[in-house]
């Protein structure tokens, strides 16, 4: 075992896995090579590829769930079995660096005021295809440019004090897919007055291989729509807190302005069928869009060159397009739910 007998490890690493495949094998291999001063808990979430055996063979603590209930439940189960006061959550498709866990331990020791922390993906994603490089590098950039006083939690590389985690009730298990359960936990932590800090030098390597279908499905249905629903729910209860949450990470003013610009470009291109002036407007809006996002494109150019950056543009603008669409759909859903709730109250009042 990784810890010394009768000695509580300084950190418990909790990993939910569902059919982890080769990425999970690499995740465990890196843990084994480094493997000291930590307790590793693998929660097999009803997997069918015997991923749990890989962890068991390496001497890690394994908890098998009979059927898949989602990573939120799996993480909660793992946290309940942890012996350390610090819970460090990582995904089954990441590799930790040799410095990752020591830096997590050091951060909590040197900053007793924080209750949780999050890290960042590194700038060398494991999968080599364009979409994987683009998506994971963009995630790295977003965290590296974010405020250190974080508003959210992150399940792929996030740590929290166990007593605080249990007090908050852990992750919301109603999220049965990899979704925004970590963001939701972060919002609850902040609303309860706990501090979350982003440590940009605590990094892991993401191994996931994104395809067009998997990326769009995850971005729209498992990220954008539920995140918007969560934000609108918070705004209804606490508008001030909503403003704080809606000004960090992917929700900065530049992103919201870019959404408006993308839709303006599409409208102008459509109007150009009747007026050449509209085409000029479209080109002007494209230039403004590039200027606003110049730091992002400069980052990609520095990391992968001009050709790669040119390929990033349409995907980045598509990201703004479906983000705007998710906002509209989420807002309509929210209004519809509130309307149906009011109608239900009116019916009850009429009957009574």
The string of DSSP letters for 64-78 reads EESS---HHHHHHHH
User: Residues of the chain with pLDDT > 90: what percent?
Assistant: 66
- Give the separation between CA 313 and CA 305, rounded to whole angstroms: 13
pLDDT at 280 (0 to 100)? 92
Checking if the pLDDT of 235 tops 90, the result is no
User: Residues of the chain with pLDDT > 70: what percent?
Assistant: 87
pLDDT at 3 (0 to 100)? 43
Residue range 322-347, pLDDT digits in tens: 988 888 887 787 667 665 656 555 55
- Give the separation between CA 137 and CA 67, rounded to whole angstroms: 33
Residue range 21-43, pLDDT digits in tens: 999 999 999 887 655 678 999 99
> What b/e sequence results for 9-21 when a residue is b if at least 16 CB atoms lie within 10 Å of its CB, and e otherwise?
bbbbbbbbbbebe
Mark out the alpha helices in the chain (DSSP H runs): 21-34, 51-57, 71-80, 100-110, 130-144, 162-167, 181-191, 212-219, 225-237, 239-245, 253-271, 276-292, 294-304, 306-351
Q: Which of 192, 103, 199, 185 is nearest to 146 (CA)?
A: 199
pLDDT at 240 (0 to 100)? 60
Residue range 10-21, pLDDT digits in tens: 999 999 999 999
Residue range 260-276, pLDDT digits in tens: 999 999 999 999 888 88
Q: How far is CA 21 from CA 54, 77, 93, 149, in A?
A: 10, 22, 9, 35
Can you read off the two tokens belonging to residue 110?
Answer: 């040197």
Residue range 109-152, pLDDT digits in tens: 999 999 999 999 999 999 999 999 999 999 999 999 988 998 89
Residue range 169-198, pLDDT digits in tens: 999 999 988 889 999 999 899 989 999 999
Q: Which of 229, 208, 233, 232 is nearest to 220 (CA)?
A: 229
Question: What are the backbone angles phi and psi of residue 178, rounded to the nearest 5°?
Answer: -60, 110
pTM of the prediction?
0.89
Checking if the pLDDT of 350 tops 60, the result is no
Length of the chain: 352
């Amino acid at each position: 075992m990784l810890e010394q007998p009768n000695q509580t490890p300084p950190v418990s690493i909790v990993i939910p896995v569902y059919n982890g495949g080769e990425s999970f094998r690499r995740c465990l291999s890196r843990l084994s090579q480094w493997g000291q001063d930590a307790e590793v808990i693998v929660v097999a979430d009803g997997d069918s590829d015997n991923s749990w055996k890989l962890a068991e063979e390496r001497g890690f603590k394994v908890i098998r769930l009979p059927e898949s209930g989602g990573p939120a439940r799996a993480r909660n189960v793992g946290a309940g079995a942890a012996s350390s006061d610090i819970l460090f959550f990582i995904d089954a498709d990441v590799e930790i660096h040799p410095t990752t866990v020591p830096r997590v331990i050091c951060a909590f020791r040197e900053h007793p005021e924080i209750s949780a922390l999050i890290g960042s993906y590194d700038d060398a994603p494991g999968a080599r295809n364009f979409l994987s490089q683009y998506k994971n590098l963009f995630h790295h950039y977003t965290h590296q440019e974010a405020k250190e006083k974080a508003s959210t939690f992150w399940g792929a590389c996030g740590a929290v004090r166990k007593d605080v985690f249990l007090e908050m009730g852990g992750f919301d298990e109603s999220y049965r897919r990899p979704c925004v359960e970590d963001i939701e936990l972060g919002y609850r932590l902040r609303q309860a007055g706990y501090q979350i800090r982003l440590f940009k030098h605590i990094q892991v390597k993401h191994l996931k291989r994104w395809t067009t279908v998997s990326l769009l499905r995850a971005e729209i249905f498992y990220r954008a729509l539920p995140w918007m629903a969560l934000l609108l729910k918070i705004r209804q209860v606490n508008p001030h807190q909503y403003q704080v949450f809606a000004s960090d990470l992917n929700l900065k003013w530049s992103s919201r302005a870019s959404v408006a610009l993308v839709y303006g470009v599409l409208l102008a291109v459509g109007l150009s069928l009747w007026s050449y002036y509209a085409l000029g407007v479209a080109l002007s809006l494209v230039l403004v869009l590039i200027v606003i996002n110049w730091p992002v494109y400069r980052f990609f150019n520095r990391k992968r060159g001009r050709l790669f950056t040119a390929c990033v543009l349409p995907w980045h603008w598509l990201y703004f397009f479906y983000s705007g669409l998710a906002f509209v759909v989420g807002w309509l859903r929210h209004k519809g739910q509130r309307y149906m709730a009011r109608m239900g109250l009116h019916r009850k009042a009429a009957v009574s």
